[in-house]
Amino acid sequence: MANELICEGLASELEAAHDAARAALATAGAMRRDRPLDLRQFRISKRESQEKFWGRFGVTQSSGSRFETGLAIPAPVSILLKLYVSGKLSDADLQG
């Protein structure tokens, strides 16, 4: 009886985790489609060149241009970008 309850509980947890992962993938897919325009528009709204904007994240102008047109962004840069855009990191925080 106790094993059945544990198995049912684990099955429910796994199903919930699976549903959450599926929702996260759907959201990530939507973000990927929107990202190039969003990054470019964000940079333009700050009135910064690609060199200045991407340089603060340790990215060359050339790579930044590719990211703005849809190339996958490496995880460390993506994390920094998300923190920067959300206001949790400032320019001073990103100074080397």
Residue 96 inside a domain? The answer is no
- Range of the structural domain that residue 10 is part of: 2-85
Give the total number of structural domains in the chain: 1
- Digit-coded pLDDT (tens) for 70-86: 899 999 999 999 999 89
- Digit-coded pLDDT (tens) for 16-54: 655 655 665 555 454 455 566 688 999 999 999 999 999
pLDDT at 58 over 70: yes
Contacts (Cβ under 8 Å, ≥6 apart) of 56: 84, 91, 94
Residue 39 inside a domain? The answer is yes
Residue 81 inside a domain? The answer is yes
Residue 45 inside a domain? The answer is yes
Residue 90 inside a domain? The answer is no
Residue 92 inside a domain? The answer is no
How far apart, in whole angstroms, are the C-alpha atoms of residue 26 and residue 7? 28
| Residue 95 binned pLDDT confidence (cut-offs 50, 70, 90) | confident
Residue 91 inside a domain? The answer is no
Residue 15 inside a domain? The answer is yes
